Amino acid sequence: MLMALAVVIFGMGSGRESGIQPADKFLIPDLTPSRLLFFGDIMLGRNVEVMTEKNGQDWLFEKLDSLLLPETFIVANLEGPIVTDHTPTPTGSFSFSFLDTSAELLARHNFDAVSLANNHTLNQGDDGFVETQKHLANAGVEYVGHPIEMGEEYVLSTVVNEQPLTIAGFNMTFAYNDPNAAVATIASLTEKSEAPIIVVMHWGEEYQPHSNKTQQDLAHRLIDAGANLIIGAHPHVVQEVESYNGKLIFYSLGNFIFDQYFSVETQQGLAVGIDLTADGLMTATLYPLESVKSQPALMTEPDRSAFLSAIASRSSADLAEALRQGEISF
C-alpha cells in the first residue's frame, strides 16, 4: 500500500479551471489501476458478521482482487467502531460494533485510509472511537474526520505517486460538524498549500437517489473555497454526479459492504478511480458494483450499462455521455 497521503475527505483543488469532457475511450472493464480509488459505506457488523463467520472475513473482498491493488491508494467510509470488547450487533440494531480484526482485514486488502466522519463511529462512545483509531494505526490504515469534532488533526496530507494530496472528511448527519467551519477549513487548507484537496462527505437523505438542496449548497461552497473533488456517502444508494465550476461532485457512492438486502438499489454501489497528473488534471473512472449477501463484485453487462445510464439520466447534462461511457476527464 502507498502510505504517504494527505486525506481530508473534501475536494481536490489545483487552482486551475478545466472543462469536463467525455474520455476518448471506455476503460471498464479494462481495470487499469488508478492512483486513487474511493468506495462508499463499509459496515462489518450485523448480518455482514454472520456471513463472515460462515465464509471468513476475506470472503468479503474475494471478487474485487482486480481493483484492490497495492499500488492504488484506496479510501472508504467506515460505518462503525472497531473494538476488542466486541458484542455482535443484533439484526435491526443501529448501534454498531466491529471485530478487532477488522483493521487488519482492511490492510490485507490494501485499504490505505478510511473516513470516520459519520454517524456510527461513536456507537461505542468516545473510548470506542479512540480504540478504533488505535486499531487502524496499528494496522497501518490512515483515518480522517470525526463525527462531531473538527481540526487539522483530522486532516490527512500525503504524497501519492509524487503528487501532494490533501483529504478531509466531514459529517453532516445527526450530531454533525459545523458546515461553516468545514468551508473555512477548506479555505484555510487552500491558502496553505497548492496540493489538490479531496473532500469526503457524509450527508444527505437515506435511500433517496437525488441529492437535496442542503447537499448541493454545501458542495458548491466547498468547491468555491478550493476543493477540487467531492465524494459523498450515507444515503445507502448511488446519487447523481454534478459538474460545478469544472469540478466533480459524487453526491453518494452508495453501499460498498452492507446488509441492506431489502432492495436492488441498496445492494448496488459505485467505486470511483481517480488518476492525477502533474498539471492538476484528473480522470474519474467509474466501477459499478453489485452485492450478493454483502459480497460486492464488479457489475457485468447488460446491468452495468443500464446502471451507468440511470446515473447519467439524473446527473448534470454535460456529463451524460461521459457517465454512460464510465470515464470523465476534468
- 231 occurs within a structural domain: yes
**Residue 8 placed within a domain:** no
Q: Judge whether 10 lies within some domain.
A: no
In a domain, 14, yes or no: no
User: Is the CB of residue 11 less than 8 Å from the CB of residue 228?
Assistant: yes
Asked whether residue 13 is domain-assigned, the answer is: no
Inside any domain, residue 6: no
Structural domain including 237 reads 21-329
Q: Write down the pTM of the prediction.
A: 0.90
- Cis amide leading into 29 (omega within 30): yes
Tens digit of each residue's pLDDT, the chain (330 residues): 433 333 333 323 333 233 444 333 333 344 444 589 999 999 999 999 999 999 999 999 999 999 999 999 999 999 999 999 999 999 999 999 999 999 999 999 999 999 999 999 999 999 999 999 999 999 999 999 999 999 888 999 988 888 889 999 999 999 899 999 999 999 999 999 999 999 999 999 999 999 999 999 999 999 999 999 999 999 999 999 999 999 999 999 999 999 999 999 999 999 999 998 766 668 999 999 999 999 999 999 999 999 999 999 999 999 999 999 999 988
The two beta strands, 247-250 and 229-233, are parallel
- Number of domains observed in the structure of the chain: 1
Q: Which of 221, 151, 231 has its CA nearest to residue 179? A: 221
Q: What are phi and psi for residue 165, nearest 5 degrees?
A: -150, 145
- Give bridge partners of residue 144 from the DSSP assignment: 115
Is the distance from CB of 179 to CB of 235 less than 8 angstroms? no
Does residue 9 fall inside a structural domain?
Answer: no
**Cα separation of 240 and 7, whole Å?**
23
Inter-axis angle of helices 179-192 and 213-225, nearest 10: 20
Specify whether the CB–CB gap between 256 and 76 falls below 8 A: yes
CATH of the domain at 60: 3.60.21
